[in-house]
A and B are shown apart, each in its own frame.
Chain A
């Protein structure tokens, strides 16, 4: 028995008192909406940046460094330093089918890197072709990452981090140019796409010169790797893979598979979870602040609706005497409260979206690391949805409670009210 057209008609017939107060209240709702839109948009931007940053190192990868044994095992004493060789990658791939992609990595600091008159001291990394995908080192258009032929033929080719390229070449095109690493000529085949990288080991990737592992070994005569990088076929398999790594490497290097100190590992799935939790925390915090601001506007609406109910007590009494059921009294008041809230919400969201666009533009132009790290404020669907749900709830409650009071009055009493 809930007739919407009638309720709307009654609303139309009784709306329109307290104009000044209504304007103030709509402004309060608009202000609250604006705050929540801005705060949530900043939160969203920061979250996206954090997520992107946590992926900068590589998605779902495990980096394995050799450690030192801490347990006596098979006649070996504890405290034995372990060292891995590039062939361990084949051993792991053969024994751990969950591993989808893997690469050995060698790293050397203090190399001279020369182009023309510029000579810099930079780290050089020797890796296998899959490393580019594992570690999110993607080539800018016009270039490529190292490939299998480079590896097989020990080509002297180099993939440059974008910062290193800028230092050496400035704005000049670098692909196909020759640079010297420790006085050996290398051809530049690719430049890394700029990325946000929050976790590093051995410095940011943007600063590195990456060469094929085989070339690296020939050039520097290295036998042992710095670390191994693997990725499971699915992130959920990481825990199982980590356990298997102890078994397989323990089998080869004769250490106790329960000896945690024998390997040190960085599991980015784990750190991404932590990042995700932190950003949820930040968003929640910002959302609560915005929500509270909006709530103040909601209290304004409720206040108006109480005034409206008081003002119309006699009219409500007349309507009840004529046979208006509770829904017909509550309905128009809730509709009125919702429309006030909706009006404020539309204004707040419009201004908010405009401001977010302006701020995002400013952020993209500003040359500040702090701003860059914070990320561009983003008005996402989630932000819009949260705002609208909050507005709706506040509007409904701000109309419902005053109207509950209205229908709780005895019609006989309401009729006598002046």
Chain B
């Protein structure tokens, strides 16, 4: 029991506050292609708090894919600091990064990236297998996820037997499997028709409403406008960072 809790409240609070999900400062990424060095990110400072729903936008070549890779721990920065949910990731080795991705990041890709030779159920199960979740708990979790994305009747199908929108729902279920701190979606509606795209966006809004922290990468302003914060990146720098004006 902390007898000083009440008295020290004002001093302790800033320390006890949960760390931002994304906390980047002075982040740089240089690609060494041998002949020339390409500076893809030139000093990014970005903070994303818990339960935020934001879009990173920018034209192709702006560095937003590089930023996505680093945010998702798929790549490491050349310089600068990156804390993901309070953990410094710049210094981690391959297996530690894999573990961080497993526990903290859920990926949703433009091309879904479901493994084609296994069923939808098994695709969602995979991150739980990597995490080491036991059989019964795993089964319950996977089934719950399918209900959440509204595909409980499609669990035993292979990805090739599903429509694009359904595949993306499976991918979202997979992204949520390990209850990640951050859901990272790269052009999630890019390969979908308008209707499916809208459905997926509704699902994202729904998830955001339920408290998931979500980062969308897109070049589509209509998509970006459905989030709550917009970060525009150009030539490796953040050029705009503002709340999205709510669209009816």
Contact = CB atoms under 8 A, between A and B. Distances in A.
Contacts of B102: 322-323
Q: How would you classify the secondary structure of chain A's contact residues: helix, strand, loop or mixed?
A: helix
B117 interface: yes
B226 interface: no
A314 B107 CA distance: 14
A323 B103 contact: yes
Interface string B107-138: 10100010101100010001101111000000
B129 to A, nearest CB: 5
B74 interface: yes
Contacts of A14: 115, 117
B69 A322 contact: no
A407 B94 CA distance: 9
Interface string A378-418: 00000000000000000000000000000100111001000
Contact of A325 (B95, B103, B107, B117): B95
Interface string A205-222: 000000000000000000
A14 B99 CA distance: 22
A326 B94 CA distance: 8
A320 interface: yes
Given A319-B126, A322-B107, A325-B99, A410 B115 contact: no
Contact of A321 (B107, B131, B132): B107
B101 interface: yes
Nearest to A1: B132
Interface in A13-63: 13-14, 16
A70 interface: no
A318 B113 contact: yes
Contacts of B122: 13
Contact of A323 (B69, B99, B115, B117): B99
Contacts of B107: 321-322
A274 interface: no
Contact of B101 (A3, A6, A10, A322): A322
Given A321-B72, A321-B74, A13 B127 contact: no
A328 interface: yes
Interface residues of B, number: 26
Contacts of B131: 323
B115 A315 contact: yes
B31 to A, nearest CB: 11
B92 interface: no
A410 B74 contact: yes
Nearest to B129: A6
A324 interface: yes
A252 interface: no
B94 A321 contact: no
Nearest to B100: A323
Contacts of A13: 115, 117-118, 122
Residue among B95, B103, B178 with most chain A CB within 10 A: B95
Nearest to B72: A321
B69 A412 contact: yes
B39 to A, nearest CB: 17
B38 interface: no
A3 B98 CA distance: 16
B212 interface: no
A172 interface: no
Interface string A310-338: 00001100111111111010000000000
Contacts of B115: 13-14, 315, 318-319
Given A6-B129, A412-B74, A326 B95 contact: yes
B75 interface: yes
A1 B129 CA distance: 12
A323 B75 contact: no
Contact of A314 (B74, B75, B98, B113): B113
A182 B94 CA distance: 93
B169 interface: no
A10 B129 CA distance: 10
A323 B113 contact: no
A325 B113 contact: no
B101 A323 contact: yes
B210 to A, nearest CB: 22
B74 A323 contact: no
B28 interface: no
B180 to A, nearest CB: 10
A324 B98 contact: yes
A320 B98 contact: yes
A415 B113 contact: yes
A323 B131 CA distance: 8
B130 A411 contact: no
B229 interface: no
A9 interface: yes
A409 to B, nearest CB: 11
Nearest to A416: B65
B17 to A, nearest CB: 28
Given A13-B118, A415-B74, A321 B101 contact: yes
Given A322-B126, A323-B102, A323-B127, A3 B117 contact: no
Given A321-B101, A322-B107, A415-B74, A328 B118 contact: no
A313 to B, nearest CB: 12
Nearest to B106: A322
Given A6-B129, A13-B117, A322 B74 contact: no
B130 A323 contact: yes
8 contacts: A314-B113, A319-B126, A322-B102, A323-B101, A323-B103, A325-B99, A325-B130, A411-B74
Interface of B: 69, 72, 74-75, 94-95, 98-99, 101-103, 107, 109, 113, 115, 117-118, 122, 126-127, 129-132, 174, 178
Interface of A: 1, 3, 6, 9-10, 13-14, 16, 314-315, 318-326, 328, 407, 410-412, 415
Which 6 pairs across A and B sit closest by C-beta, in order of nearness? A323-B102, A412-B74, A412-B69, A412-B75, A323-B130, A411-B74
